[in-house]
Structures are given as C-alpha cells and as structure tokens.
A and B are shown apart, each in its own frame.
Chain A
Amino acid sequence: TQLLEQSPQFLSIQEGENLTVYCNSSSVFSSLQWYRQEPGEGPVLLVTVVTGGEVKKLKRLTFQFGDARKDSSLHITAAQPGDTGLYLCASDPPGTASKLTFGTGTRLQVTL
C-alpha cells in the first residue's frame, strides 16, 4: 500500500505569512491531487499534477510536483484567514485503478 506522508501535521500562522506543506511517498506517483477541506464540509479538489517537475499556480497557491514524481509541495503566499482548512494530498497507486490513497493532511489555521 502506498503511504502518503504529509508535513507538517499542524500549522498556525498569522495573516500575510508564507507557508509550504509537503506530501511525500516512497513510491512513484502516477499523478497527485491536492484537496482543501473546510470544517463541516467535504474535500474540494484544488489541482492535479501529472508531469514530473510540473508547477501549477492557483491565485496565491503554487503546487509543485517533484522531478521523480515521489513528492509534491503546496506553497501559499500571503496567507489569509480564508485559507484555513485541512489540506490533503491524494494519489492513485499503481495497480489500483479508480481508487485514491489520501495523506493524513495538514491542518492550517490562519489568524488575523
């Protein structure tokens, strides 16, 4: 079973600060997704990265896929209270068609 390790588990920062969260695996990802989950709601897909070295930007969020496709990072610039939530990475391990494995998540709190 492919394990996805996310770090840090918890992050509390002030508005305006920058932060990076990480998702790592001992196995190669075929693709990697990032989700954000707000309290009381289901996860919402932010982005999918597929190609090693790929960088995608979504407003103040920058997603990077490692060259070897075994790690990914999410960088938030000038965090805002609306960024508060649980950030999850997910991947489909080889040989598990149509199923996703999720990391345990990074819980982010952004305060004023």
Chain B
Amino acid sequence: DAGITQSPRHKVTETGTPVTLRCHQTENHRYMYWYRQDPGHGLRLIHYSYGVKDTDKGEVSDGYSVSRSKTEDFLLTLESATSSQTSVYFCAIRDSRPTEQYFGPGTRLTVT
C-alpha cells in the first residue's frame, strides 16, 4: 500500500472558522491531489501539486487554498469554512505511471 496519511480523520467546525487538512506521503511522489467526495457528484478535484511550491486549481477550487513546502506534505486550507464545504476530503498521490493515483483514507469534515 502507498504510504499516505491524512490528518485529522474527522473534524467538526463552525461556519467562518479556518480549517487546515494535512496529507503526508512517504513515497517521494511528485504529484499530490486534493479531492472532495459528495453524494451524486463523485470525486471532484480541488487542487493539485506537481512539485514543491508548484500547485494548480481543479474544478472546485473556490474557497480553498493549498500549500506544498516540501515533497511529503500537501496542505488544504479552508480560509473561512461554510456549510457547503461539509464533505469527505481525499488526498491522492501519483505514481511514476501517467495516470494511476493512490488515495489516502480520507478526512470527514462537518461544518455546522
């Protein structure tokens, strides 16, 4: 199994508060991704990184920012959480092959 961990695994927060989710890998893979998964929408890409300090937006990036200061860590920040950001968040890393990705266990975020 790919070495990917996410923290926290569960979080409940209030509307308007900042939240940071962490993804950590031990595989030294170049690419890292943040997705959210919601009923009826499947997995949707929020942001991704193709190297240290190199990031780009996905299809649902509004309200989210990311940072990658070292290869092994990719942080997702909700600057001011809203109820619409209640979701399950998955981190993924990309192997050396062009498209295969390996996923972390997920973080369940509830914004009240």
Contact = CB atoms under 8 A, between A and B. Distances in A.
Contacts of B98: 31, 92, 98
B40 A104 contact: yes
Contact of A104 (B4, B31, B41, B101): B41
B103 A100 contact: no
B106 A40 contact: yes
B84 interface: no
Contacts of A33: 99-100
Interface of B: 4, 31, 33, 40-45, 48, 50, 58-59, 90, 92, 94, 97-106
Please classify the interface of chain B as helix (H, G, I), strand (E, B), loop, or mixed, using the class held by over half of its residues: strand
Q: How large is the interface on A (under 10, 10 to 19, 20 to 34, 35 or more residues)?
A: 20 to 34
B31 A105 contact: no
Given A98-B31, A99-B58, A102-B43, A48 B50 contact: no
A42 B105 CA distance: 5
Contacts of A90: 43, 99, 101
B42 A98 contact: no
Nearest to A44: B103
11 contacts: A41-B105, A42-B105, A43-B90, A45-B101, A90-B101, A92-B98, A98-B50, A99-B45, A100-B101, A103-B42, A104-B41
Interface string A32-63: 01000000111111001000000000000000
Nearest to A47: B100
B99 to A, nearest CB: 5
B25 to A, nearest CB: 13
